[in-house]
Chains A and B, each alone.
Chain A
Amino acid sequence: MRSSVFFLIAVLVGAAVFFGARFVHNEYIFFAGFVILQFIVLATAWNILGGYTGYVNFGTAAFFALGAYSTVFIHKLYPLPIPVLILIGGVVSGIVGLGMGYLTLRLRGAFFSIATLALAVVLQTLIVNWTFVGGSRGAYIIRPATAPLIGNYIEYMFLIMLALAIVAITTARVIERSQLGYGFATIRDDEVAAEASGVPTLRLKLIATTISGALMGMAGAPFPYYIGYVEPTSTFGLAYAVNSIAMPMIGGTTSWIGPLIGAILLGTIQQVATVTISSAVNLLIVGLLLVAFVIIAPKGLIGLVQDFRRSRGG
């Protein structure tokens, strides 16, 4: 399937989702849906680096928070429309991703992973000490009562996140099928052999880190307008990191559809569990599922389906 056709289909599916959600006549659908879509973007972004090249990023929360705090910063100066803020958030996070990649990607994969954890804490410390964006007390963002085009603000937010999810998934699919994607796969399978065969591994890894970081920042940029109150502890929460790793791992990391399935599945489970049980228990579920899947089904749900088909066919 050509990428333009895929994009068109994705837009149609997106439109169906939006009008379907409107049909229900319940605002909660949009609030819950926004979170799930946000996780689709984060999981897809994580997978572009983690799944395709095999470099584990534990700092999703840092890139997400960078996007969110870029919005807070700009909101304090002069409120801009959300799509512009998303672009700014993406640029800021992309540059930070590039910089950090440049510092640590020449080393073994484990160092990169540890450095991403480090990045999250360094940034959190900076934000806690930066009173202009609220410091440790946090900042209130009062969102406008009405939105452009549609009127209802939460529907507008939902639509924006939906568009972002479509962009993220299409990007992932395009990368997967391009020369870039094959380059990424060589790094994942055997970096030394790839380097020896003339694959510019460092440059490819930097590209992956930048795209992945930028998408995470873009997911974070609308967040302050959704939540209304931003403070460092929850914005840098470990939940973002663990979810964006667990979702691709559970779905399957080698294809764009893995993170999508994982995000919809885990996102929905968590929305239900948060309402019916408690938010701490749903995090425990995510952790247990992550460990269970990496041990029992290393290729995720996609791998399970493939194995099942193969065993039936053969």
Chain B
Amino acid sequence: MHIQLDLLVSALVAGILLGGFYAAVTVGVSISFGILDIVNIAHPAFIILGSYIAYTFNARFGLDPILVSILALPAFYALGALVYQVYYQSFEKRGQDALRGLAFFFGLLFITEVSLDLYFGVDYRYVEASYIGPTLHFGIINLPLRLLVPCVVSLALFAGLQLFLTKTFIGRAIMAVAQDQLALQLMAANPVRIKQIAFAISIATCSIAGACLIIIQPIEPSVGRDYIGRIFAICVLGGLGSLPGALIAAMLLGIIESLTSTFYGPSWAPAVAFGLLLLTLALRPAGLLGR
């Protein structure tokens, strides 16, 4: 029984650490899908792009992946602003055409994946850093730094964004744009501009999430697809547009996935997120903390 307990505890701890990381992966979609109502299914592709940038600078210059991702933030912000500009001009402005908007993001996902495939090949890539390898021990609790560091970074990102959205003027304007564009206009703020900022921020988070991802696991271009399900499962389960809800859902998913792969085998883990997503959609579409 002791071995079982050991397994259980380490699975739980790994799940919580993984959940923290999932929160960072999801926070961008919580903004773009949850608040702005833009179904950006290409989000995971941008995360993988972040991973490859971290990998490239790590392999060439030996830079720390987290540091690279912070330096790359402006570039990702600009990329997000550009994508939103194209999206707005081609789809939002012409009226609600959800079908083509979805196809557009699907195309972006596909182009990014195939381009990375052509440039880097399908070999798994990984980064090197001092905190990949060692593990902290507290009694029967093991904290692998490889999971702990991304978790801490992710939670910091998450907390920062939550503060930004609730305390600053632009943050509150972003929350407002989802509810009443006209009212926002009357407050002398340009809703399109606000949306562009929000979308650009959501893509900027991909840089940090990508670096965390490649610290946790080696990646290849199609890994992103596994994350589509996780991201949207967390986002929907947490309740659209609710950041605290997303955090709870991320932890929940991390723990369930970790328990599943410990006790049933890792090949079943990908189905957990999607199963959870389908269940949520069928039983409680509003999510845990839905508005």
A290 on the B face (CB < 8 A): yes
Is there contact, CB below 8 Å, between B107 and A56? Answer: no
Report the Cα distance A280→B110, complex, angstroms.
Answer: 11
Flag if A117 contacts B271 (CB, 8 Å). no
What CA separation (Å) do A126 and B272 show in the bound complex?
11
Decide: A56 and B99 in contact? CB cutoff 8 A. Answer: yes
Q: Quick check: is A207 within 8 A (CB to CB) of the other chain?
A: no
Q: Is A9 an interface position by the 8 A CB rule? A: no
When chains A and B are docked, how far (Å) is the Cα of A136 from the Cα of B39? 31
- The answer to whether A115 has its CB under 8 Å from any CB of chain B is yes
Q: CB within 8 Å of A: which residues of B?
A: 33, 39, 41, 86, 90, 94, 97-100, 102-104, 106-108, 110-111, 113-115, 117-118, 222, 225-226, 228-229, 232-233, 236, 265, 267-268, 270-271, 273-275, 277-278, 281-282, 285
Q: Are A284 and B107 in contact, CB atoms less than 8 angstroms apart?
A: no
In the assembly, what is the distance between CA of A288 and CA of B110, in Å? 9
Extra contacts besides A125-B274, A136-B267, A284-B115 (7): CB < 8 Å: A103-B278, A103-B281, A115-B278, A121-B274, A122-B275, A125-B267, A125-B271
Set B41, B118, B222, B265: member contacting A114, Cβ < 8 A: B41
* Binding stretch for chain B, among A28-36, A104-112, A213-221, A301-309: A104-112
Q: Which residues of A contact B33 (CB under 8 A)?
A: 110
Q: Which residues in B have their C-beta under 8 angstroms from that of A122?
A: 271, 274-275, 278
| B interface majority secondary structure | helix
- Least Cβ distance of B266 to chain A in Å? 11
Contact of A295 among B86, B113, B270, B278 (CB under 8 A): B86
Take A121-B226, A294-B103 as given contacts and tell me if A283 and B270 are in contact as well, using a CB distance cutoff of 8 Å: no
A114: B residues at CB distance < 8 A: 39, 41, 228, 232, 236, 277
Q: Are B114 and A287 in contact (CB under 8 A)?
A: yes
Per the bound structure, the CA–CA distance linking A118 and B271 in Å amounts to 8
Q: How far is the CB of A154 from chain B (nearest CB, A)?
A: 29
| Shortest Cβ-Cβ A-B pairs, 10 listed | A118-B274, A125-B271, A291-B107, A287-B110, A287-B111, A290-B107, A110-B39, A103-B282, A295-B90, A294-B100
Can you list 26 A-B contacts (CB < 8 A)? A54-B99, A56-B98, A56-B102, A56-B103, A109-B98, A110-B39, A110-B98, A110-B102, A113-B39, A115-B281, A117-B41, A117-B229, A118-B273, A118-B277, A125-B268, A125-B274, A129-B268, A238-B222, A241-B106, A280-B114, A280-B117, A287-B111, A288-B107, A290-B103, A290-B110, A291-B108
The secondary-structure label for the interface of chain A is: helix
User: Bound complex: CA of A115 vs CA of B236, how far in Å?
Assistant: 11
Chain B residue contacts of A111, Cβ below 8 A: 236, 281, 285
Chain B residues near A103 (CB, 8 Å)? 278, 281-282
Shortest CB-to-CB span from B285 to chain A, Å, is 5
CB of B259, distance to nearest CB on chain A (Å): 16
Known: A56-B103, A58-B106, A128-B267. A118 touches B229 (CB 8 A): yes
Q: How far is the CB of B5 from chain A (nearest CB, A)?
A: 27
- Mark interface residues in A81-122 (1 if CB within 8 Å of B CB, else 0): 000000000000000000010011001011101110111011
A125-B268, A126-B271 in contact; A118/B278 too (CB < 8 A)? yes
CB-based nearest B residue for A118:
B274
Given A110-B98, A294-B107, also A121-B282 (CB < 8 A): no
Residues of A within 8 Å of B232, CB to CB, are 114, 117-118
Do A298 and B104 form a contact, CB below 8 Å, given A126-B271, A238-B113?
no
Name the distance in Å between A145's Cβ and chain B's nearest Cβ: 35
| A residues less than 8 Å from B117 (CB atoms) | 280
A13 contacts the other chain (CB 8 A) = no
A295: nearest residue on chain B (CB-CB)? B90
CB distance from A231 to the nearest CB of B (A): 14
Q: Is A50 an interface residue, CB under 8 A from the partner?
A: yes
In the complex, A111→B39 CA distance in Å?
A: 9
In the complex, which residues 236-253 of chain A have their Cβ closer than 8 Å to any Cβ of chain B?
238, 241-242, 245-246, 249, 253
User: Chain A nearest CB: distance from B234 CB in Å?
Assistant: 12
